Structure 1
């Protein structure tokens, strides 16, 4: 049976939420995780969207994730906090940590929250958007399991350890940098493999350290650092902060969620929140950042370039487009979700996108 490939974002989010609840996740936490996945798909980051539902559910089912454990504060000072995620879902742990970071920053101007005992936490942009809503700047870093070799090596040692930065604006779209320290996130290679597509040369090497365009061979090998030794160095630094400093796993001690079924992942994160009002009144800041952005976009364009964009702007527009026109899922992903839904008695068909349904455009724009 061929499944539909377009789904309504709200209904698909509800489908995922109900699946997680049926799998044993508390309702409030299921809402967070489903929101995290849908926000990734809406932004066009399909590698971190509902494609991750199956592996999250499987790890819950096999007791590799504890959906009942509350994240807890292990150490706390005026502007620093260490959170133990107690092996709950990464989006749940990350949300708790960013809430603490924003609360501390509001009270003290800035705050750093380190996290250990977490899991894959989705996209960094998911957390930066929470800070932007509160008129704060947020830096997010996380380590990940071994998928990238050090420069000069040929086998994976460090993760594609992501960095995200969110800065609010006024009339302009906010600045949101959300990047892996590899040429491409490994999740994009997973998606290419699921679609049976080749990948560009330069993304990855095979298990023998040879360049490859075959997605399956790349998954057996390693992705490459962005900018060569520079990306490697940044990834290593993130691993030091998120892993070594927090007491989480680092290097080979961050366990692969697809391959290790004996130990929790023990992922580490870092959240750095800055209260803009401690430096400059927020309205003045927004005026200045709008001016900065508009002046960048007004710069002379290179041949063949129609528009200069800022980080996060493509994704901002993608959210509007996908809320209006639906989220397109690869057939394999839709089949996976359908299978999970059947096991838990949740009907994926109810999430199918219909062009005839009314879309409130103002609501769409306001929630981007």
Structure 2
């Protein structure tokens, strides 16, 4: 069973719950928007299902919702920010604004972030950049949930990377992917629903392949493409963690298990002013023709259309903005319980 709710009311509800929990209004709104945006695009693993764990970490002092995001270094086209252990979505949004402003001024900006937390989907940030005619690459590390290729126990995070480019069309090019075969959050959602997972997604704690979501959460998700995904995850960790002074590998603390230390997640934003290379209209025209050439390619039998990265999510977002977001009963029940805790009435 499930509950369908309008996306704007869901964002307002979650934002109000965060506020009643002591989160400043602007921070609460950004975090809620980030969670609902993930649900709109079908990335339920990063959606409102995370509301409870975010609030619990703040209540336990593992997140400081009042901390400012500060610049440790600012050399124009490069910068380093300290998130002060605030909510990751807020830290990411502030860092993005800093990176975009500097890219417009200098042509490009590479901005690292340390002392942050889980920041949601990379698409949340690249979407904002492409709306301003910028290209954006976003990297983030995460706590260890994935073995290196050939390993058994978790050592690397499912460290995501996202690319965003404006196309001059309603649908931008947005590639947002984890370096694991599947985002661990999808396994969390499956466990909440009492569902099994496909064979090949994960292994149990002994390193055996499993379809049991709970056993997978005790074990590890597998790298995308074996050694390739493992290597890419480590490269992301070098930029987002080692270079920034954030945690890396097993020193990024798990938000579900570690209640003694902040996560110290690291991010890395690369913002590019397209106009420094080509007039934006020329770029989008060339990219549009590239997309058209791809779509005209011969299709595998049974494939109605060739899609570029971001199209599936864009269409789903349009549908859910119109029809509402369908929440599994268990997720809705958890949200209702949180609302009762903080005296916020459920969506009517």
Q: 1:288 and 1:263 mapped to 2: Cα distance?
A: 48
Corresponding residue SS for 1:70? coil
For the pair 1:142 / 2:154, whether they are aligned, the reply is no
TM-score using structure 2 length:
0.99
Query: What do you get for the CA RMSD once the two structures are aligned?
Result: 0.9
1:73 match: 71
Q: 1:231 and 1:91 mapped to 2: Cα distance?
A: 25
Corresponding residue SS for 1:271? strand
2:116 match: 118
**Alpha-carbon distance, 1:171 to partner:** 2.3
**Alpha-carbon distance, 1:78 to partner:** 2.1
Q: 1:240 aligns with which of 216, 238, 241?
A: 238
TM-score using structure 1 length:
0.93
Task: Tell me if structure 2 keeps the 8 A contact 1:172–1:293.
Answer: no
Matches within 5 A, 1:54-203: 54-171=52-169, 173-203=171-201
**Alpha-carbon distance, 1:172 to partner:** 5.1
1:359 match: none
**Alpha-carbon distance, 1:347 to partner:** 1.4
Q: 1:138 and 1:286 mapped to 2: Cα distance?
A: 15
**Alpha-carbon distance, 1:349 to partner:** 3.1
**Alpha-carbon distance, 1:107 to partner:** 0.5
Q: 1:85 and 1:171 mapped to 2: Cα distance?
A: 34
Task: Tell me if structure 2 keeps the 8 A contact 1:172–1:290.
Answer: no
Q: 1:216 and 1:92 mapped to 2: Cα distance?
A: 31
Task: Tell me if structure 2 keeps the 8 A contact 1:67–1:89.
Answer: yes
Structure 2, unpaired ranges of 5+: none
Per-residue CA deviations over 1:248-279 (Å, capped at 9, x if unaligned) read 00111100000000000000000000000000
Task: Tell me if structure 1 keeps the 8 A contact 2:73–2:81.
Answer: yes
Q: 1:35 and 1:120 mapped to 2: Cα distance?
A: 14
Following superposition, which runs of at least 4 residues in structure 1 exceed 4 angstroms of deviation? Answer: none
Structure 1, unpaired ranges of 5+: 351-368
Task: Tell me if structure 2 keeps the 8 A contact 1:40–1:123.
Answer: yes
Per-residue CA deviations over 1:175-199 (Å, capped at 9, x if unaligned) read 1000000000000000000111110
Per-residue CA deviations over 1:294-330 (Å, capped at 9, x if unaligned) read 1111111111111000001000000011111110111
1:345 match: 343
1:320 match: 318
Report the more deviating stretch, 245-254 or 293-302. Answer: 293-302
**Alpha-carbon distance, 1:170 to partner:** 1.1
Per-residue CA deviations over 1:337-360 (Å, capped at 9, x if unaligned) read 00000011111233xxxxxxxxxx
For the pair 1:48 / 2:46, whether they are aligned, the reply is yes
Q: 1:257 aligns with which of 255, 258, 262?
A: 255
Corresponding residue SS for 1:140? strand
Corresponding residue SS for 2:137? strand
